[in-house]
Structure 1
Amino acid sequence: MTGLTLADHEVSEASKQIAEDHKNRANEAFKAKHYQEAVDAYTAAIDANPRNAVYLSNRAFANLRLENLGSALADASAAIELDPTYAKAYYRRGDAAFALAHFKDALAEAEKQLKRARFEEALSQPDNDVPVSDTIVLDDVAIDSSYCGPALPTDENGAYFINLEFIESMLEAFKRGQTLHRRYVLWIVLEAQRLLKALPSLVHVDVPAGSHITVCGDTHGQFFDLLRIFQLGGAPSEANPYLFNGDFVDRGSWSMEVMLTLLAHKCLCPGAMHLTRGNHEAKSMNLIYGFYGEVREKCGPTAVEVFRETFCWLPLGYVLRDTVLVLHGGLFSDDGVRLDELAAIQRYREPPEAGHMCEMLWSDPKDTPGREPNKRGVGIAFGPDVTRAFLQDNGLSLLVRSHEVKDEGYEVAHDGYCITIFSAPNYCDQMGNKGAFIRFKGEDMVPAFTQFEAAPHPDVKPMKYAASMMNGMFGM
């Protein structure tokens, strides 16, 4: 353990012992995967003894597990200021900077401390001016005679279409570890892209009396947990529609299977499957957290670009029965934002670093009033007064968002006006959380929660396709 530095004599022995007690409690909470409890206990240790770099570095690590990347970066930097020889603090700072997509800083940190530069070539590639999707000729994608997986049906003119039998056979193939042929993958993604292009950036969905809609949070490539959702909530259909609220991909190692399942249902019945863009439906995140590497390995580089372009057409939010707003992240740095402004956002782009689109993907609620910089380092943290004012300004009754792991799979905050829903149980095979989804009935639009545990899955580790630096960050 590194020694104390900077005026140790200013901290009494009694305070040092209190700090150690808090640190020990924090370490136990961390081992039990109660990361927010660990952050709170490390904070108590720092309050008792602000001169110990270990406490700051440990809190940085707990914040990394919670994806509070801005806080992790600040803690690691403070630890280094206290003790410039403390190696672990440099690791934490490099991990946080890299995860925040501060690529140049992260690579410099890696070269200096970790001797890694895995993404330099990938990040230097320019974007194409002409969408790759527009250049695809499916007939040029030959199907080898050895392919024995599911095949899309064709009509009397030889054109592909999708039916429930194909989706069922596709899911069975995915369970056995098989992948679809590249031609079928491209057809599904391009057909879904065509449907998404016709939607506004903010979509209104009616939920009449006698009907319902199910809202799910992050799924993050956890395909077998997606199947558990359909097992509990029923298969998607016109009478049983779903809204998946972003972060379909990355981290979990079946992200392509999750995405193809959702897009295939969108193609089969557009009204049965609604999809919101999350902060992980972005090139920068996919390069780091696995989706880029997964699709490249399973389907080739062309498919990577077609998925990326399709992500850019995903709507940014949904309004359910003119009362419930569903978006991935949260609210805004300025007052008076109106729904028509959100509907007018030009969304076909990679997410910007600021502004309404960024905040819809990245912001988080906080318990105290007002606004402050987000602990992630992107977007803002907004209080209950901000939520109430936004809902009142727009004639809404509830905000539903995702974007954060919750131990119970959901959390009701801001006096009942803000709900977080998260649908990836035992996130990354290590968080121990439940998953959950919400069902709204058209009669009253009152949220009803269903919780579920993680489903068994084959022995394929999360982050299998991610950057090696991120694998190290999560101990995989």
Structure 2
Amino acid sequence: MANANGGSLPTGSEKAEKLKESANVAFQARKYATAISLYTQAIELCNSNAVYWANRAFAHTKLEEYGSAIADATRSIEIDPEYVKGYYRRGAAYLAMGKFNEALKDFRQVCKIVPKDPDATKKLKECERAVQKIRFEEAIASEHVKSCTVVDFRTIDVEEAYSGARIEGDKITLEFVKTMMEDFKNQKKLHKRYAFQILHEVKELLAPLPTLVNVNVPNDTHITICGDIHGQIHIHFLEYFDLMNIFDLNGLPSDENPYLFNGDFVDRGSFSAEVIFTLFAFKCLYNSGMHLSRGNHESKSMNKMYGFHGEVKSKYNESMAEIFSELFCCLPLAHVLNKRIFVVHGGLFSRDGVKLSDIRSIDRFREPPDEGLMCELLWSDPHPGLGRIPSKRGAGVAFGSDVTQKFLEENNLELVVRSHEVKEEGYEEEHGGKLITVFSAPNYCDQMNNKGAFIKFVAPKLKPQFTKFVSVPHPNVRPMAYANNIFSWLS
């Protein structure tokens, strides 16, 4: 077919190849959503090309959309059963979801197709060793369940040579917290006596809380909601780290300046211990000035894969890592502000009719299950259409604007605020303004180039006021430094 200038138009396959090349450029620039869109257009023109499907699977993996990655990789394998990257991409997604048996099957298939490839053989052996180690640790943990009461911080001596922050007596003070944060800026570690003391005290505060916490914001006062932090502190000389940058912009937490951190405090970033001790210390100092929700990464399985467990073991010890696992089970699953705004890490549900009373009745003192209300609160995401569709993550559900509207109407609420997803501007208003996503880890994992954001609500109107911020420089400690080493080559 000729165009208006007499030349021939490119065929569908040629257009698809150009789209794939553009998608590859976007992928290299870490614009993964753009890459997915371009790969999708290429697939629409030529849906029998295994490469397009496998490439899109890899882009989905970068956005932690592991369910979609598995579906795309599976399609590439169906098109070409000998296509190594299809199995490799699917195995990586399975591994990221903790589905170890499925992952190993795919990596073994890679070695079956290319038996003489030394790199494939090496990675399979690494994967087998890593999975064996994870299973062994889980078995040991299940046999020896530790309690916070096992470690008595009062019996731990503080060496004279220790020059960091100290708690005088049993009371955590603002002076101690400020000194501790300054120490963190200088990459100094909090002494284990005071670390265990913070954990002991914060458990006493978290355990009695209901699963759904009602927060009262009196007229002419405010509350600030922050999304995922993911262990990012990004210290550089006199610069504040990302968490402290929020406090620099919006003031330190206090009873007069309360915060709600909406889950995913840890994992991926390599300063998760410093982040969580800062948040927990403020919780101890100002109980009503620091509210904390559980995220999907406040779980033992996530922590063992994505770095927090390894970080705590490296900086402190195994006993403290187990105590954190217990503490995370004490975190509330959701909050309601002034009976009007529902705040949750993930999202809504796979069925209609869920009432706030149903959420209050959830037994949260456990590791998150693979399905049900607790799973969906931690894992679900919105989608721009109507109804419900399978989750891109492979956990929870993707829910449309009608689902949000119905949930709000049935519970006499006005707005859903959630986190859980990277947003280019740090936040996004969706579902006709009835749902807001806020994400507070800028340049997530040193590769997403996104802004961070937080939201301030002032009573009585409770209209969202957004503040965006960018990341600050940080020392040469890569994200996922403490994660299971298999992720270094899967990324």
In the alignment, what sits opposite 1:182? 192
TM-score between the two structures when normalised by the length of structure 2: 0.91
CA contact (8 A) 2:87 2:109 kept: no
* Correspondent of 1:35 among 24, 32, 35: 32
Unaligned runs of 5+ in 1: 1-11, 155-159
The root-mean-square deviation of aligned C-alpha atoms, in Å, is: 1.5
Q: Distance between the aligned counterparts of 2:249 and 2:10, measured in 1?
A: 55
CA distance in 1 between partners of 2:366 and 2:108 (Å)? 31
Q: Output the CA distance in 2 between the equivalents of 1:75 and 1:468.
A: 25
Shift in Å at residue 135 of structure 1? 1.4
Percent identity of paired positions between Structure 1 and Structure 2: 50
Q: Residues 388-428 of structure 1, C-alpha deviation per residue, up to 9 Å, x if partnerless?
A: 00000000000000000000000100000010000000000
Distance (Å, rounded) in 2 between the aligned partners of 1:316 and 1:214: 18
1:408-467 CA-partner distances (Å, limit 9, x unpaired): 000100000010000000000000000000000012010010000001211111010011
| Aligned mate of 2:281, from 264, 285, 306 | 264
Counterpart selection for 1:123 from 119, 135, 153: 135
Amino acid in structure 2 at the alignment position of 1:147: Y
Q: What's the counterpart of residue 213 of structure 1?
A: 223
- Return the alpha-carbon distance in structure 1 between the equivalents of residues 135 and 199 of structure 2: 24
> In 2, are the aligned partners of 1:186 and 1:306 still within 8 Å (CA)?
no
1:108 shift after superposition: 4.1
Q: Write the letter of the residue equivalent to 1:204.
A: N
1:64 matches 2:64? no
Contact 1:132 1:302 in 2 (8 A): no
Quote how far apart the aligned CAs of 1:177 are.
Answer: 1.0
Output the CA distance in 1 between the equivalents of 2:105 and 2:14. 38
Structure 1 residue 109: deviation in Å? 3.6
Distance 1:387 1:183, change over 3 A: same
Select 1:139's aligned residue among 145, 154, 175: 154
Matched, 1:351 2:361: no
Superimposed CA distance per residue, residues 126-176 of structure 1 (whole angstroms, 9 cap, x where no aligned partner)? 32565421212223433334322211111xxxxx21001101111111111
| Inter-partner Cα distance in structure 2 for 1:461 and 1:131 | 31
**In structure 2, what residue type is equivalent to 1:233?**
N
Alignment of 1:174-323 (within 5 A): 174-223=184-233, 224-323=241-340
**Cα distance between partner residues in 1 of 2:100 and 2:218:** 47
8 Å Cα contact 1:246-1:278 kept in structure 2: yes
CA distance in 2, matches of 1:288, 1:216: 24
Deviations 1:344-388 (A, max 9, x none): 111000000000000000000001100111010000000000000
The worse-fitting range, judged by mean Cα deviation, of 26-35 and 197-206 is 26-35
Which deviates more, 132-141 or 289-298? 132-141
Q: 1:32 to 1:201 in 2, by over 3 A?
A: same
- 1:93 aligns to what? 90
Q: Is the 8 A contact 2:212 2:334 kept in 1?
A: yes
Aligned partners of 1:460 and 1:184: how far apart in 2? 25
Residue 415 (1) aligns with residue 432 (2): yes
User: What amino acid is aligned across from residue 148 of structure 1 in structure 2?
Assistant: S
Name the SS for the 2:11 alignment partner.
helix
Q: Distance between the aligned counterparts of 2:52 and 2:229, measured in 1?
A: 32
Q: CA deviation at 1:257?
A: 0.4
The residue number in structure 1 matching 2:114 is none
Q: Residue type matched to 2:469 in 1?
A: F
Q: Secondary structure at the match of 1:119?
A: helix
- Aligned residue for 1:372? 389
Quote the residue 2:183 is aligned against.
173
Instruction: Give the distance between the partners of 1:321 and 1:271, measured in 2 at CA.
Output: 14
Unaligned runs of 5+ in 2: 1-8, 111-122, 234-240
What does residue 5 of structure 2 align with?
none
Alignment of 1:329 with 2:326, yes or no, is no
Paired residue secondary structure (2:57): helix
Q: Which range moved further: 409-418 or 465-474?
A: 465-474
Cross-structure match for 1:75: 72
Amino acid in the other structure paired with 1:65: K
Residues 285-294 or 97-106, more deviating: 97-106
| Structure 2 CA distance for aligned equivalents of residues 122 and 18 of structure 1 | 45
Alpha-carbon distance between aligned partners in 2 of 1:288 and 1:111, rounded to the nearest angstrom: 21
Choose 330-339 or 90-99, whichever is displaced more: 90-99
Native 8 Å contact 2:230 2:265 kept in 1? yes
Query: 2 CA distance for matches of 1:178 and 1:86?
Result: 48
1:297-319 Cα deviation digits (max 9, x unpaired): 00110000011100000000000
Q: For 1:383 and 1:418, how far apart are their aligned partners in 2?
A: 10
| Structure 2 CA distance for aligned equivalents of residues 13 and 426 of structure 1 | 38
Asked if residue 26 in structure 1 is aligned to residue 15 in structure 2, the reply is no
How many Å apart are 1:81 and its aligned residue?
A: 2.2
Deviates more, 1:225-234 or 1:26-35: 26-35
How far off its partner does 1:13 sit? 7.6
Alignment CA distance shift 1:468-1:129 (3 Å): closer
Counterpart residue type for residue 152 of structure 1: I
Question: Is the counterpart of residue 163 in structure 1 residue 178 in structure 2?
Answer: no
Q: Distance in 2 between matches of 1:466 and 1:33?
A: 21
Q: Does 33-42 or 256-265 show the bigger shift?
A: 33-42
Greater Cα shift, 173-182 or 144-153: 144-153
1:382 has 2:427 as partner = no
Distance apart, 1:181 and its partner CA: 1.3
Cα offset, 1:225, TM superposition: 0.6
Deviation at 1:233, TM superposition (A): 0.8
How far does the alpha carbon of each residue in 1:6-42 deviate from its partner, in whole angstroms, 9 at most, with x for none? xxxxxx9811011112112211221222211111110
How many Å separate the matches in 1 of 2:356 and 2:143? 32
In the alignment, what sits opposite 1:5?
Answer: none
Aligned to 2:166: 151
The answer to whether the aligner puts 1:449 opposite 2:466 as a matched pair is yes
